[in-house]
Amino acid sequence: MKTKLIFITGGVVSSLGKGIAAASIGAILESRGLKLTIVKLDPYINVDPGTMSPFQHGEVFVTDDGYEADLDLGHYERYTNIVTSSHHNFTTGQIYDTVIQKERRGEYLGKTVQVIPHITNQIKENIYNAAEGNDVAIIEIGGTVGDIESLPFLEAIRQVGHEMKGNQVLFIHMTLVPFIAAAEELKTKPTQHSVTKLREIGIQPDILLCRTDRDLSTELRKKIALFTNVAHDAVIQAKDVDCVYEVPIRFHDEGLDGKIVELLQLWTKRSNLQKWADIVYSFKNPKDVVNIGVAGKYVNLRDSYKSLHEALEHAGIALNLKVNIVYIDSEQIESDSDAMAWNHCDGILIPGGFGERGIEGKIKMVKYAREQKVPYFGICLGLQMAVIEYARNIVGMKNANTTEADQNTSENVIDLMNEQKNVTDMGATMRLGAYPAKFIPDTKIAGIYGSTEISERHRHRYEVNNKFVPELEKAGLVFSGKNVKLDLVETVEIKDHPWFIGVQYHPEFKSKPLDVHPLFYRFVEASYAYKQSKPAK
Ligand code: GLN
């Protein structure tokens, strides 16, 4: 295989930002003209990340091919041109599943099936398959060195290093260099221990990425180098940044990409990160603020709505505005209408969500946005709430609901499709991945996309019930987009409203800082226009 491999491991603590580091390295190497891919290996037993709680694990990212992935794949797509798929993420659970199925089919010819070589061989096979056809493959290993569960992955990549040798493989290890206030000192010991742990397993890192909140002196870098057997110019600081899109620039300034191409002996053009610099400048120098109220059950959990946050931020960057996201607890709104913090929002967004909790509060928020002509953006569940609100308050269907909240309602304007009614497995059984939608020409949404045929990613079970469409349409709700083949509603809008759009899909998964999604751009733009039209307080 000609592809060069860069493995990224993490030590000391979790949440060091390995995913963003991997994506940022991808961005710099792409700007040097290299063709690359990024893969995430997750050491947990779950067969797919789709069934994991966003509370515990952050957002479930959805790929075009309908794979429910770890949120790091979202970072990879936002920083690079990679279109991720199920080949870009695999878990211990999947590896074991494959090996056990092979064993059941007799493929191991009766041998004892063991972690080494069978599990490790399967890991290597998956890595090689994903890497093939690229100049470089970056492989991020989830978890922290020292965890029992990541051992088979580390053993497999050690073997890769042994088999490929030469300038084919690079090991980057990310650690923490904490500042201890009492001693008024940055401490290198955790890094030393973490590298020792890695070397016990047989992996000598080539480059260290040291996460820190302040600059590392040359002296300190030399100390780390000496204790870890890493060249001192390969001890790279990864200092905290205000804007995550600054990371590629900082890494480049630290000489990281230079070191990578030197060690891998890659001949490339120079990197050009000007576009990233422009983004960071706009982010740091906004001309004004716009307040977007986001309803959700997972209040205060940034990671549960990672892509949504980023997409709103991309729009803010493009419009040179600071998007201030105000999370609104819809359950609180249900019981206490006075707690309508959202009154002060310039735009209201109801994102995807599951279960019946908070539904009534969300419907109240839609009513407010519709009546007060506040820009409204409904995503997935947000579209469903908009349809229910319209049915209840305009058409007069008092019991209109989703069967997700009320199984027995006769006015089931949102309901399960037939094929969903027999589903018993929770994993990978929703309407998932990219589906096309066709817009009615001259609708607002067709104008926003500048096209009548699009493709977006889905992740849901419930749909608008076609039985009620004619009645709702007659009352003025515009069903602007459809999946023609499946005869399903994809988008809705209201005419005499400055900006009221619901989409059954998740546009946030496809927004990038260098290519902001038009729906987010237009929504934030409309929200800012609304803000400016309000009388000053
Ligand atoms: N719970 C709703 C459904 O399953 C909406 C899902 C979502 O918002 N992603 O259809």
Asked if residue 471 has pLDDT above 60, the reply is yes
Per-residue model confidence (pLDDT) at position 27:
97
Asked if residue 245 has pLDDT above 90, the reply is yes
Asked if residue 536 has pLDDT above 90, the reply is no
* Bridge partners, residue 208, by sequence: 173, 235
Question: What backbone phi and psi angles, to 5 degrees, belong to 307?
Answer: -65, -35
Is the pLDDT higher at 169 or at 426?
A: 169
**Residue identifier of the C-alpha nearest atom 9 of ligand 1:** 352
pLDDT category at 425 given cuts 50, 70, 90 is: low
Query: Which of 330, 350, 381 gets mutated to test ligand 1 (max ligand atoms within 8 A of its CB)?
Result: 381
The answer to whether the CB of 62 is under 6 A from ligand 1 is: no
Q: For residues 334-340, give the mean pLDDT.
A: 63
Q: Ligand 1 centroid vs 344 CA: distance in angstroms?
A: 27
Q: For residues 405-432, give the mean pLDDT.
A: 80
Asked if residue 297 has pLDDT above 70, the reply is no
Per-residue model confidence (pLDDT) at position 46:
84
The answer to whether the CB of 459 is under 6 A from ligand 1 is: yes
Q: What is the DSSP letter of 121?
A: H
Lowest mean pLDDT across 127-131, 188-192, 298-302, 454-458: 298-302
Asked if residue 226 has pLDDT above 60, the reply is yes
Q: In what order do the strands lie in the sheet with 36-42?
A: 89-91, 36-42, 136-141, 4-10, 169-176, 207-212, 235-239
Per-residue model confidence (pLDDT) at position 326:
87
Query: Which of 60, 357, 380 gets mutated to test ligand 1 (max ligand atoms within 8 A of its CB)?
Result: 380
Q: Which of 47-61, 97-111, 451-465 is predicted most confidently?
A: 451-465
Per-residue model confidence (pLDDT) at position 65:
93
Q: For 142-200, write each residue's pLDDT tens digit.
A: 999 999 989 999 999 999 999 997 799 999 999 999 999 999 999 999 999 999 999 99
Q: Ligand 1 centroid vs 179 CA: distance in angstroms?
A: 43
77, 360, 380, 460: which one is catalytic?
A: 380
Asked if residue 316 has pLDDT above 90, the reply is yes
The answer to whether the CB of 380 is under 6 A from ligand 1 is: yes
Q: Is 320 left (phi over 0), alpha (psi -120 to 50) or beta?
A: left
Q: Ligand 1 centroid vs 258 CA: distance in angstroms?
A: 45
Q: What is the DSSP letter of 10?
A: E
Index of the ligand 1 atom closest to the CA of residue 462 = 10
Could you tell me how far CA 55 lies from the centroid of its own chain?
Answer: 14
Query: Which of 60, 363, 404 gets mutated to test ligand 1 (max ligand atoms within 8 A of its CB)?
Result: 404
**Residue identifier of the C-alpha nearest atom 10 of ligand 1:** 462
At residue 25, the 3 state secondary structure works out as helix
The highest-level CATH class for domain 4-278 is alpha beta
**Residue identifier of the C-alpha nearest atom 8 of ligand 1:** 352
Q: Ligand 1 centroid vs 511 CA: distance in angstroms?
A: 20
Q: Ligand 1 centroid vs 65 CA: distance in angstroms?
A: 18
Lowest mean pLDDT across 215-229, 296-310, 469-483: 296-310
Lowest mean pLDDT across 48-57, 138-147, 362-371, 408-417: 48-57
Per-residue model confidence (pLDDT) at position 401:
95
360, 411, 493, 508: which one is catalytic?
A: 508
| Global pTM value | 0.93
d(C-alpha 133, C-alpha 129), whole Å: 9
313, 506, 517, 525: which one is catalytic?
A: 506
Q: Ligand 1 centroid vs 432 CA: distance in angstroms?
A: 11
Asked if residue 300 has pLDDT above 60, the reply is no
d(C-alpha 69, C-alpha 354), whole Å: 17
Q: Where are the domains of the chain?
A: 4-278, 286-533
Q: Ligand 1 centroid vs 471 CA: distance in angstroms?
A: 23
Index of the ligand 1 atom closest to the CA of residue 379 = 8
Fold matches, 4-278 and 286-533: yes
Index of the ligand 1 atom closest to the CA of residue 380 = 8
Per-residue model confidence (pLDDT) at position 505:
97
Asked if residue 232 has pLDDT above 60, the reply is yes
**Residue identifier of the C-alpha nearest atom 6 of ligand 1:** 460
Is the pLDDT higher at 475 or at 417?
A: 475
Q: Ligand 1 centroid vs 109 CA: distance in angstroms?
A: 45
Lowest mean pLDDT across 9-23, 285-299, 468-482, 497-511: 285-299
Whole-number mean pLDDT of the chain?
A: 92
Per-residue model confidence (pLDDT) at position 14:
83
The answer to whether the CB of 352 is under 6 A from ligand 1 is: yes
DSSP letters, 426-457, are -TT-SEEEEEEEEEPTTSHHHHHHTSSEEEEE
Per-residue model confidence (pLDDT) at position 343:
63
Q: For 251-295, write each residue's pLDDT tens digit.
A: 999 999 999 999 999 999 999 999 999 999 999 999 999 999 998
Index of the ligand 1 atom closest to the CA of residue 463 = 10
The answer to whether the CB of 353 is under 6 A from ligand 1 is: yes
User: Within a 10 A sphere around the Cβ of 96, how many other Cβ atoms?
Assistant: 17
Q: Ligand 1 centroid vs 459 CA: distance in angstroms?
A: 7
The proportion of the chain whose per-residue pLDDT surpasses 90, expressed as a percent, equals 80
The answer to whether the CB of 354 is under 6 A from ligand 1 is: yes
d(C-alpha 329, C-alpha 526), whole Å: 23
pLDDT category at 49 given cuts 50, 70, 90 is: confident
Answer yes or no: are the C-beta atoms of 136 and 266 closer than 8 Å.
yes
Which residue do the tokens 């100390």 mark? 223
Query: Which of 459, 463, 505 gets mutated to test ligand 1 (max ligand atoms within 8 A of its CB)?
Result: 459
CATH tag, 286-533 = 3.40.50.880
Asked if residue 305 has pLDDT above 80, the reply is yes
Catalytic residue check, 380: yes
Per-residue model confidence (pLDDT) at position 340:
59
Per-residue burial over 241-280, b = 16 or more CB atoms within 10 Å of its CB, e = otherwise: eebbbbbbbbbbebebbebbbebbebebeebebeebeebb
The proportion of the chain whose per-residue pLDDT surpasses 70, expressed as a percent, equals 94
Query: Which of 60, 384, 505 gets mutated to test ligand 1 (max ligand atoms within 8 A of its CB)?
Result: 384
The answer to whether the CB of 460 is under 6 A from ligand 1 is: yes
The answer to whether the CB of 227 is under 6 A from ligand 1 is: no
Q: For residues 338-345, give the mean pLDDT.
A: 64
Lowest mean pLDDT across 63-67, 68-72, 284-288, 369-373: 68-72
pLDDT category at 356 given cuts 50, 70, 90 is: confident
Q: What is the DSSP letter of 45?
A: S
Q: Ligand 1 centroid vs 199 CA: distance in angstroms?
A: 46
Lowest mean pLDDT across 57-71, 175-189, 377-391: 57-71
Query: Which residue stretches of 320-454 are H helix?
Result: 330-335, 359-372, 381-390, 418-421, 444-449
Beta strands in 220-265 (DSSP E): 235-239
**Residue identifier of the C-alpha nearest atom 1 of ligand 1:** 354
Helix (H) or strand (E) holding 516: none
Per-residue model confidence (pLDDT) at position 13:
86
